[in-house]
Chains A and B, each alone.
Chain A
Amino acid sequence: MPGTLTPAQMFDHSLVVVKGPSLMNRLDFHAAPVSTETINQGSVCSLNSAGNLVAGCSTGAIMNRPMPMFAIQSINDFDANSDVGNFSGGVMSAVVATGGFEIETTEFVAGTYRPNDLLTAATGANAGNVRRCTVSPYGAEVVVGCVSTGISSNEYSKSVLRFWTMFLPASAHSADSSSSESSSSSI
């Protein structure tokens, strides 16, 4: 019987910045991840209230809206985590959604994506993936991207979704505004 094992490959999860600022000048961010999170290269992620990276991007709270980012490494890549006894790791990095990027990621929920579809961060078992928005911007979903060319197959026959990164905070636009106005008027 021939072999049946398929070892993991370095291109199983990928993020490719196809357009945007050059590597040495792009807007990226580094922080320690929450160790129990599953964050793959290309996953949408954000900071929790403690300043640690978590998979996905929650809608947040009034006047506190997590900024979407896209992971440059997987959480267990050797330069982001390491075997017990090693000094290295502990921090991972991500490009920030407002940095002016067009990216390709393997981390998306399978489906139909047309140019100009708005994207949000999936939740639950799909946390870390992006998916199509189902409501209008500034509604119940945070917008993390806008589809450019959509799904294609990369050089390793992996499905990737190409889109422009962006950030339109979720929900309660009016609540945020009223909070701001209330705050201003109280000064």
Chain B
Amino acid sequence: MPYTKDYDVRLVNESVINALRSEDPLMRKEAQESTSDYLRLRLREDGFARKFFNPATITPADLDRQVDTQKPVIVRDMEPNSAGAYSIPFGTTPMDNYIRAPRYRVMFDRIESRRYTADVNDLLTYEMDIRQILNDFILKDIMAEEDRKFMLVVETSVGALNTVNDALGSCQFITVGAMNRQSIAHAMKGLPSTNRHLNPAKALVNNILIWDAVAQPREQIGGNLAEELFVDGFAERKIMGLIWSITIKTDLVGDSDIYMFAEPKFLGDFFILDDVTMSSKSEDYTLSFFAYESVGGTIMNSAAVCKARFSGTQRNWRTGL
């Protein structure tokens, strides 16, 4: 194959760099906004943590103040619990109960990429679309960190394997045996088995485990689905009423594991204080840029998440046995 140069791409690179370096604030703004728009689009497509919430963009007016710190925080109310009803004979007065409800705090920190810097003349020598490269690696770094932090809290919530969470009256992480129709259905019982009786709405698996679903025969998952999966492979879809999301982040989601989440209103919060922003700076012949975001998220209802492992012997959600 003859060696050719892609002059169109090089022209694009040059125009982007010129825009970023421009003294004209309108040109710089345009260049930064174009990369910011791109970042936000890919974030919705690629980050999985946000899929399980209804992310909300907040403003400084939404933040709550604290006496002992200037750090941003939001104080949220939690659903109160009632003391229950009881039977009494006639002529008996009710017992009193004082009204109170728990609260919790949503805290924020920042996720940012490294600050990438280069001599602009070195950037001009690339034959590929430099915008694509730069946006891809920066965004992937930020998304990976967001997902990593989300999964750390998920893992803390589900606790140890085959161990009953006394507060919920059931396990949140069990083995369900090899994947088949019955074990998938058994995994679905995880959230309803707690004393809060939530139903799963979304699931998360990795791109390795999903091939076990594709491999399920017609008698296990039904003729149409089996044929469709065999021909087309797997895309995000509903199985047993549950939306299965597939991630390639196998370091965060194990090859045998499925995570199930309740509806966002039961799960927690995802607040965006600063959405992904690209900051760029040009000085003489150097260009530097980095991206950052500031988000606060919680999983405050541990009954809204569970994990099943398609291996070992099938355990009972309520007993772990």
Contact = CB atoms under 8 A, between A and B. Distances in A.
Interface of A: 7-10, 77-80, 82-91
B29 interface: no
A10 B108 contact: no
A88 B148 CA distance: 11
A91 B107 CA distance: 14
Given A78-B73, A83-B104, A89 B68 contact: no
A79 B268 contact: no
A85 B299 contact: yes
19 contacts: A9-B67, A10-B70, A77-B71, A79-B110, A83-B104, A83-B105, A85-B268, A85-B298, A85-B302, A86-B106, A86-B107, A86-B296, A86-B298, A87-B149, A87-B153, A87-B295, A87-B298, A88-B295, A90-B149
A79 B294 CA distance: 10
Contacts of B93: none
B251 to A, nearest CB: 17
B300 interface: yes
Contacts of B302: 85
Contacts of B69: 10, 77-78
Contacts, number: 68
Given A79-B110, A83-B107, A86-B107, A10 B296 contact: no
B297 interface: yes
Contact of A88 (B68, B70, B109, B300): B109
B38 interface: no
B71 A78 contact: yes
A103 B273 CA distance: 30
A7 B105 contact: no
A120 B156 CA distance: 39
B266 interface: no
B300 A78 contact: no
B149 A85 contact: no
Contact of B108 (A78, A84, A85, A90): A78
Among the interface residues B72, B108, B150, B302, which one has the most CB atoms of the partner chain A within 10 A? B108
Nearest to B105: A83
Given A7-B67, A83-B105, 16 more contacts: A10-B68, A78-B71, A78-B73, A78-B105, A79-B110, A83-B104, A85-B157, A85-B302, A86-B105, A86-B153, A87-B296, A87-B297, A88-B296, A89-B107, A90-B149, A91-B109
